[in-house]
Every structure is written in C-alpha cells, then in structure tokens.
C-alpha cells in the first residue's frame, strides 16, 4: 500500500468510531500533535492585534493567501483602528474588492473601528470580541489564541469539523457541539494548542479525500485509521 489511505472502503459511521474512544486520555495521546505544531506561525501574516482582527474578519470564506496579498496596501492606508474609524465602507473597496462578501465586510470593519476607536481598546475575551459584526466564536478563538489570551474555547473550523470525528475525539457536524466536546476532552490550558493542532492536521495531513494516515503522528489513537487497517 502507498503512503496514503485511499477512499476505497466505506467510511465507518462516526458515531460508532466515537463510541470506541471513550476511555482515551486525549490530552496525553495528542502530545505528539501539540509538539509538532507548538510555535507554528498562523498563516495570516499580521503584525499586531489590530491587523489580526481585520484580517480574521476578511478571511472568512476566503483564503489566507488572498488576504495576505492585499494586507500591505490596506494597512499602509489604514495603519490603525483610529485611521479605520474615519473611513467609510466605500473607502475600503479599492483595497478589498477581491475579497468574498467585501461589501458586508467593509461595513462591519468600519462600524467596528468606530466603536473600538483605538487599538488599545480591542478586547481579548469571547464576550468582548463577539459583540462586533463579523466576529463569531471561531474568529474570537483565533484572535485570543494568537494573542495568548486565557482560552475560553477551541478553534473549530472546516478542518476541525472533518478531523475531529475521524480521530474520534468528537462527533457530529455542529461547530458549537464539536467545540464543547473538545473542551471536555482536554484541559483548558491546552485549548489553544488543541485548536491550532487540529486545524494544521487537517490542512497538512488529514485531507478530505486522501488522508496521509501513514505519516500522521496520531494514527495510533485514530479511530478512522484503526477501522481502515
């Protein structure tokens, strides 16, 4: 067999996989994954908290690569929350017109900037961040994780939604329910690294159609892998 597990077998039911993983000490078993991704830089090339917030909002349903490409020109024109607070949504159009849903995102960002007013007022809590348009739990978790703020949740993105049931650490398709299950499996001090690790595992190894299970550092504990062998 090659280095990849092909989708030749029917995928096992994720509920069955989940039932087989009840007694796993996830915090211990996922250590190789935490070690692999500890200190990995986020793909968004931000320089400060203000830039991170803006780029996280822009990157929803778009690629990090696209947002990185337009960021230098955007931040040359609007280098801080104070500058952005003086802008109208239309002022942002020349810089973000290639971003998905740019009309709404420019409204959200200019409104948020007017409310926050200054970089030093950007909150670093779930409650504080999610009061602003375009920032949901996942975005708030990304921002808090990158800023090393005390964790209040686990980042759950499309990669996490795919990887978690395969691994057997959570089941279902609802992001909030998956997040709650992840929070219950690993102590709070590791919630940030858990979220980042599962995201990177999905980006690099646990791909949608051809997961590279033979090179996966957590294959010994993975329910999907055990079923495929």
Residues that bind ligand SF4 (CB under 6 A): 163, 166-167, 205-206, 211-213, 216, 218-219, 222, 224-225
Which of 146, 130, 172 lies closest to 181, judged by CA? 172
Question: Least distance in Å: CB of 6 to ligand SF4?
Answer: 12
With both helix axes pointing from N to C terminus, report the angle between 49-59 and 137-146 in degrees, rounded to the nearest 10. 150
Q: What Å distances lie between residue 156 and 9, 25, 145, 162, CA to CA?
A: 27, 20, 12, 10
**Does residue 47 sit in helix, strand or coil?**
coil
Q: Smallest distance from the beta carbon of 29 to ligand SF4, in angstroms? A: 11
Tokens for 125?
A: 């809590």
Query: Which C-beta is closer to ligand SF4: that of 134 or that of 168?
Result: 168
Q: How far is the CB of 37 from ligand SF4 (least distance, A)?
A: 13
C-beta of 4: minimal distance to ligand SF4 in Å?
9
Q: From the CA atom positions of the chain, what is the Rg in Å?
A: 19
Q: What are phi and psi of 73, to 5 degrees?
A: -70, -40
Nearer to ligand SF4, 191 or 225 (CB): 225
Q: Quick one: 85 or 217, whose CB is closer to ligand SF4?
A: 217
30 or 99: CB nearest ligand SF4: 30
């Amino acid at each position: 067999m090659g280095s990849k597990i092909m989708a030749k077998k029917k995928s096992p039911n994720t509920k069955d996989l989940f039932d087989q993983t009840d007694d796993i000490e996830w915090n211990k078993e996922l250590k190789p994954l935490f070690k692999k991704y500890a200190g990995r830089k986020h793909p968004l090339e931000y320089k400060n908290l203000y830039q991170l917030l803006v780029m996280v909002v822009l990157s929803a349903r778009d690629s990090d690569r696209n947002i990185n490409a337009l960021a230098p020109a955007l931040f040359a024109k609007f280098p801080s929350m104070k500058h952005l607070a003086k802008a109208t949504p239309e002022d942002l159009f020349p810089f973000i017109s290639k971003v998905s849903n740019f009309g709404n995102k420019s409204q959200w960002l200019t409104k948020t900037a007017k409310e926050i007013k200054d970089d030093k007022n950007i909150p670093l809590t779930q409650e504080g961040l999610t009061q602003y348009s375009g920032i949901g739990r996942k975005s708030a978790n990304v921002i808090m994780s990158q800023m090393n703020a005390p964790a209040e949740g686990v980042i759950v993105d499309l990669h996490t939604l795919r990887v978690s049931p395969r691994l057997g650490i959570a089941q279902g398709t609802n992001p909030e329910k998956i997040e709650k299950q992840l929070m219950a499996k690993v102590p709070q001090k590791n919630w940030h690294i858990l979220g980042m690790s599962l995201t990177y595992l999905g980006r690099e190894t646990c791909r949608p159609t051809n997961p590279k299970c033979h090179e996966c550092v957590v294959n010994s504990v993975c329910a999907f892998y055990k079923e495929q062998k």
